């Protein structure tokens, strides 16, 4: 089927195989899409990552449990929406610096480090003369 994108092929596959509104595994979806696109094995390996990313970003599709995919039109917003407040907890970061950070940030450490670098450069110049 020339002229159709992989996502359009995936849409057709899910539409045709999902007559009973059953989702399809990513593996089965990819297998059917590659058959319809007449891909060679080398092409299959090179395009699977991009296909998965595109599928994830396309608003027509929704991922369900265990990497099963379906069309968004088969699901209500409440069923597939993820409340990000439940995913991320509120962690307060303190502005205080702990003892290890203070030790690391002390100016004499920085001076020792930079002095050591300058000495090694001087040594290299002396060796070249």
Residue 30 lies in a domain: yes
Same domain flag for 64 and 105 = no
Q: Which of 1-5, 28-32, 44-48, 60-64 has the lowest mean pLDDT?
A: 1-5
pLDDT attached to residue 39: 87
CATH number, residue 37: 1.10.10
| Count of domains observed in the chain | 2
Structural domain containing residue 124: 99-128
- For residue 88, how many C-alpha atoms fall within 13 Å in the half-sphere facing its CB? 5
At 87-114, the pLDDT tens digits run 566 665 566 666 766 666 666 655 555 5
d(CA 70, CA 68): 7
Closest to 69 measured CA to CA, from 5, 34, 21:
21
**Mean pLDDT to the nearest integer, 41-59:** 90
Same domain flag for 25 and 70 = yes
Three-state secondary structure along the chain? Answer: CCCCCHHHHHHHHHHHHCCCCCCEEHHHHHHHHHHHCCCCHHHHHHHHHHHHHHHHHCCCEEECHHHEEEEHHHCCHHHHCCCHHHHCCCCCCCCCCCHHHHHHHCHHHHHHHHHHHHHHHHHHHHHHC
Which of the pair, 48 or 84, is modelled with greater confidence?
A: 48
Nearest 5°: CA angle at 52, between 13 and 18? 25
pTM (predicted TM-score): 0.57
At 5-46, the pLDDT tens digits run 999 999 999 988 766 667 899 999 999 999 999 988 888 888
Residue 1 lies in a domain: no
């Amino acid at each position: 089927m020339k002229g159709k994108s992989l996502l359009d092929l995936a849409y057709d596959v899910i539409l045709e195989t999902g007559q009973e509104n059953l989702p399809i595994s990513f593996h089965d979806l990819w297998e059917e899409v590659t058959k319809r696109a007449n891909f060679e094995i080398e092409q299959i390996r090179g395009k699977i990552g991009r296909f998965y990313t595109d599928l994830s970003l396309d608003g027509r599709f929704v991922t369900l449990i265990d990497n099963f995919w379906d069309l968004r039109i088969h699901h209500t917003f409440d069923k597939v929406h993820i409340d990000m407040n439940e995913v991320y907890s509120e962690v307060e970061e303190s502005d205080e610096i702990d003892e290890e950070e203070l030790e690391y940030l002390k100016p004499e450490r920085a001076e020792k480090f930079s002095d050591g670098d300058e000495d090694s450069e001087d040594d290299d110049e002396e060796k070249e003369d």
